[in-house]
Amino acid sequence: MQYSKDTMLENGPHKYLSLIEFINECTECFSFLHTTNSLEKALSICKNGFIYVQFDKTADYVCDVVTLAYMLNIRKHYGDYTIIIQIDAHIKNYLEISNREYDVDGEEFYVLPPQYIKGFYNRNTHEIIPNPLFKI
């Protein structure tokens, strides 16, 4: 298969330009992505926060357009909805801003409050849905 310039742009990092602009609105933040498989889960994370056991095992750090395109590509099998998490760059320990909770079996987990969930990206429609609860 041959690739034309148009095909390269369509399939390369440039197709994520609006997402990159959305993420880059916060220059003093660390940005992370988490992919989920349903609109209901994406909306729930925006409303109720991001549940995790080990943050770095469930969210991918992105720092530039290449990393963003790479993470979106390798995580596409996890679902069509990519959550954008942004945390102030001065916060070093994410457990300090998360709520510790326990499930019915007594297992510990954490909830990053919805104020750190900037929104989510629908990879099928390329729509970005901002979270009205986001504030840094």
Beta bridge partners of 126: none
pLDDT at 12: 53
Cα separation, 32 vs 41, in Å, equals 17
Instruction: Name the DSSP class of 33.
Output: E
Average pLDDT over residues 50-71: 93
Summarize pLDDT for 97-131 with one digit per residue, the tens: 999 999 999 999 999 999 999 999 999 998 999 99
Cα separation, 82 vs 75, in Å, equals 9
Summarize pLDDT for 4-57 with one digit per residue, the tens: 333 334 555 567 888 988 998 778 899 999 999 999 999 999 999 999 999 999
Range with the largest mean pLDDT of 65-69, 71-75, 114-118, 132-136: 114-118
Strands 117-122 and 29-36: unpaired
Radius of gyration of the chain measured on its C-alpha atoms: 16
